[in-house]
Amino acid sequence: MNQELNDAQRQVVLAEKGPILVVAGAGTGKTNTLVHKLAHLVKNGTNPESILLLTFTRRAAKEMLGRASGILDNRMMSVRGGTFHSFCHHFLRKFASVISLDSNFTILDEEDTIGFVGMAREQVVTTGTKVRFPKKETLAEIFSACFNLQISLEKYLQKEYPMFLGITKEIQEIKTKFADLKAKHNSLDFDDLLEFTRKILVSDERIRQKMSTTYDYILVDEYQDTNKIQAHIACLLASIHQNILVVGDDAQCIYGFRGASVHNMLDFPKIFPNTQIIQLTKNYRSVQPVLNLANAVLEKSSENYKKNLIASTQKHSFPPYLITVESFEEEAEWIAEKLLELYEEGFPFSQMAVLFRSGYSSHLLEVQLNAKKIPYRKFGGKRFLDLAHVKDVIAYLKVVENPRDILSWNRILLLEEQIGKKYSQILYKRLESNQFQWKNDANFFLGLPESTKQSFSKLMECLDTLSPFQQSTNQVLESILTHYIPLLEANYDDSEKRKQDLDSLLLLSKNETKLSDYLSNLILDPLEGKEIGNSDELKDEYLTLSTIHSAKGLEWKVVFTMQVVEGNLPNHRIRTTDELEEERRLFYVAITRAKDLLFLTNPAFNDKNRFTSVSRFLSDLDKESKLYESLEPKNKPKSENNEIDQENNPPSNSFENIQNYFLN
């Protein structure tokens, strides 16, 4: 068994019981180490039923136990493995009465939770309320975030939803009524499972003692992703015997917005002073030049476990490349062309990925990929054209282009206040019968409420000023956005984030004079990998587009990381040192996804045509160390004479020649 392990991994497996912190760098085989540790414990006399393995997905636990069975035998399947939430669920079924909770409680899924929040909201927000309140979906997200981040409602609103700070008291009332409704109906949401489990373990020493005899050894995977409540539960379970092993990489703690705390790893030895710390640094994924850059970026961190990743093989390799381009548009074009070039050199699309800080960063690239017939799938955020607000704006453009487009009319009419399904149908029929004119018909608004008339008139006054023949596509789109943005702000609680997607639409419109061309280029041929070909050979032949968060744990031969500039990586919203350090870790995760080739792109100007500077995570590095190579795209040759050489390309427009060619 131990022949498959390196020295550090073997040290983990053979370590005596007691608290152990395994700091496992990216690609260093932490799962393999955990699997062997599990098998070693059982082989050496630990009852498998007394081992608790806590993971973040049920699949991860199942895979680890399956692999451990392959090393040892089926005894491994008796190990209790699962997620924190599944453990808490079974725990509360046994001990719910301790906190006066019925053990036959219902677990609320996400939809159920939103439903309960909606019921609580209706008790506070009445028909006479004149202040805008967050929607029930947003409220559910706010309440859960406050719990997982362990911060007050006011602090969270201040940071994420400052527009609702004036109604903090009312939102707190909704939160209280939401809790009351759950208690009344004997229902628990996911957060309650964690909170009530912790509450029992903290308050009842008898139960803590019982759990220590039930589970003699606790193992926690991906410990850097635990929030304070989950880490507290794990430590409480081990509080009596202290037989706990946690595995993680503090440098990959990138889910702070969900409550994950890097201090769970950094402070673990403070909780258990006799902790044995073991580092895994031999990397089985990336070439050394990629690791050199990752090591240097991490070295600048103000607070971490210092580690130096070393590649397991020393094969010939290329340095990471920093490509400076003029604009976001040029960035998208360069990446698409480089992908095709690498594909021709033998890299399958399935071994390449493009990573980005935020979902909207890939919108221009998606258009380029569609145009070049490059199949792709996107992870972390919806495809550009599937976003509801993008569909809204395109519907306005379709109506301008084709006034008889009933589906687009229906969409934009329903966006207006005071126009529901019934009035939308009536208004469209009257428009249709009047050749889409409305001002010259005295009976146009007959039987309609005044409020509906006002909403419709406001929409039409906008549309009447637009002409795809006299205005550029960009001008048409700007006028539409002037009308639409207030509706966006009224309909979406996260409107500020959505506006960034609409900036991409504006950018794409700059080079399209004809509205019809703009729409066709956006809408036609929206390829995805799963739609290309029918053979099994092509089934997985697609490029991956992914946010860096969604790419964690994955790897590709070739990785592109977009927009490595200030304001994006790190994000412009950072306010604290902790937030800056999480952005650094995010960049580290992006770098360490690459096995062989890493390309970092640096647009000189952003989508608002403002000058950018390369990310401080690169500019702060020692220039003499040559951790990456700077490149500028080759200039495309421009022909001074676009005319076809008539002598070499004689015209052939003869009907007879054409017929002879195709028929013979």
Residues that constitute the known binding site? 24-31
What SS3 state is found at 421? helix
Q: What is the spatial distance between Cα 393 and Cα 487, in angstroms, rounded to a whole number? A: 11
Binding residues for ATP, as ranges, are 24-31
What SS3 state is found at 307? coil
Best CA proximity match to 597, nearest among 353, 379, 365, 374 = 353
524's torsion region: left (phi>0), alpha (psi -120 to 50) or beta? beta
φ/ψ of 248, rounded to 5, equals: 180, 180
Per-position DSSP letters for 605-640, written without gaps between them: B-TTS-B--B-HHHHTS-GGG--SEEE-PPPPP--S
State the greatest distance between any 2 C-alpha atoms of the chain, in Å, as a whole number: 98
DSSP state for residue 15 in the 8-state scheme: P
Q: What is the spatial distance between Cα 148 and Cα 137, in angstroms, rounded to a whole number? A: 17
Per-position DSSP letters for 330-376, written without gaps between them: HHHHHHHHHHHHHHHTT--GGGEEEEESSGGGGHHHHHHHHHTT--E
Dihedral angle of Cα 542, 545, 550, 555, to the nearest 10 degrees: 60
Question: At residue 642, what is the residue type?
Answer: N
**Residue 253: other Cβ atoms inside 10 A:** 26
Which position has the token pair 């917005």?
257
Per the document, the length of the chain is 664
Which H/E stretch holds residue 321?
strand 321-325
Tokens of 517: 């061309």
Dihedral angle of Cα 169, 170, 174, 177, to the nearest 10 degrees: 70
Instruction: Give the per-residue SS3 of 210-279.
Output: HHHHHCCEEEECCHHHCEHHHHHHHHHHCCCCCCEEEEECHHHCCCHHHCECCHHHHCHHHHCCCCEEEE
Residue 256 makes CB contacts below 8 A (sequence gap 6+) with 262, 578, 579, 582
